[in-house]
Amino acid sequence: MTAPVSLVLAGTRGLGFAIAGELLKRGHRVAIASRSEDNVRDAVEQLGSYGEVIGHATDVRDESELAGLVERTRSELGPVTTLVANAGGPTVGGFESLDEDDWNSAYQLNLLSVVRSIRLVLPDMRAAGSGRIVATGSSSVRRPLDGLTLSNVFRPAVNGLVKDLAVQLAPERITVNMVSAGRIDTDRVRRLDQVRAERAGLDAEAFRANAQSAVPAGRYGTPDEFAAMVGFLVSPEAAYVTGQSVLIDGGLVPTLP
C-alpha cells in the first residue's frame, strides 16, 4: 500500500512540527512549510530520522506561493491526501490597538490560507477517493481570549468553514475536522504569558504557576499530546469522524457542547 502524502502548513515549529513528526511516525510522507528557509532546513534535518520529509519556504498568506507549494509536493511526493491547515497566531491586541494591516494580515493568515489550501488539494483527494483535512485553532473557538481580538474573530470563522465543508465532502469520503489548543507549551504561549505577566506586575514563573493551577489537569499540555489527536483524525480509524471541533486543553474550557 502506498504511503499517504501529508502537507503540514507552518510545520517547522511548535504544534506544526509536532504534527509533522506524528504523521511521519505513522508512515506518512510529509511536506512542511514555513516562511523561513532556515527554519525549513533545520526542521527537515530534525524530522528526517522519522521518515520521508521535504520542506518548502512558503508564505501561506500568498496564494501563488501556496499553489507552488502544493504543486511541488505533488511532484516530489505524490498527490496530497492529508492536509493539516496550520498557521501561526495573529497579532496580539485588543480591538482598538489593531489597524487595517493587522486585520488584513490575520484574514490572509488564519482564514484564507485554510480556504486556499483546501481548494488546492481537493482535486487530489477526489482522485484518490478519500482524504483527511484538519484545521488547527485555539480555545478562542469556544471562549473569547483577553487581548486576542483577531484570534477571537478568525478561529471561529475557520470552525464554521469546517462544519460547512464536512457536510459537503462527507459523501466523497473526505473528512474535515478542527483541533484547537488550550494552554499548550509552545513558544507563542510562552510569549503570551510573558506579556500577561508584565501587565499583571508578576514575574513569568509566578504567572505561569497561577495559569497552570487554573487548568483542571494541573499543567500545560505538550505539542506531542496535541499532535496525537491530529494523528488519530487523519487515520483510517477516524473515517466516520467529521465536522468535529476538538479542544485539547486539559479541561480548561468546560463549555457545552
Tally the domains of the chain.
2
Query: Cα separation of 40 and 76, whole Å?
Result: 16
Q: Identify whether 257 is part of a domain.
A: no
- One-letter amino acid at 178 equals M
pLDDT score for 1 = 65
Average pLDDT, the chain: 94
Q: Tell whether 102 and 28 lie within a shared domain.
A: yes
Write the pLDDT tens digit of every residue in 2-53: 899 999 999 999 999 999 999 999 999 999 999 999 999 999 999 999 999 9
Where residue 87 falls among pLDDT bands split at 50, 70, 90? very high
Cell of 151: 484570534
pLDDT score for 257 = 64
Nearest to 257 by CA among 245, 249, 248: 245
Q: Tell whether 78 and 66 lie within a shared domain.
A: yes
pTM equals 0.94
Q: What is the mean pLDDT of residues 173-193?
A: 92
Q: Is 154 exposed, middle or buried (0-12, 13-18, 19+ CB in 10 A)?
A: buried
Q: Tell whether 202 and 145 lie within a shared domain.
A: no
Where residue 254 falls among pLDDT bands split at 50, 70, 90? confident
Q: Tell whether 48 and 160 lie within a shared domain.
A: yes
Q: Identify whether 51 is part of a domain.
A: yes
Q: Tell whether 93 and 178 lie within a shared domain.
A: yes
Q: Identify whether 212 is part of a domain.
A: yes
Q: Tell whether 67 and 113 lie within a shared domain.
A: yes
31: phi > 0 → left, psi -120 to 50 → alpha, else beta; which?
beta
Domain span holding position 231: 5-183+222-248
Q: Identify whether 254 is part of a domain.
A: no
2 or 63, greater pLDDT = 63
Q: Identify whether 255 is part of a domain.
A: no
pLDDT score for 63 = 96
3-state secondary structure the chain: CCCCEEEECCCCCHHHHHHHHHHHHCCCEEEEEECCHHHHHHHHHHHHHHCCEEEEECCCCCHHHHHHHHHHHHHHCCCCCEEEECCCCCCCECHHHCCHHHHHHHHHHHHHHHHHHHHHHHHHHHHHCCEEEEEEEEHHHCCCCCCEHHHHHHHHHHHHHHHHHHHHHHHHCEEEEEEEECCECCHHHHHHHHHHHHHHCCCHHHHHHHHHHCCCCCCCECHHHHHHHHHHHCCHHHCCCCCCEEEECCCCCCCCC
Q: Tell whether 204 and 80 lie within a shared domain.
A: no
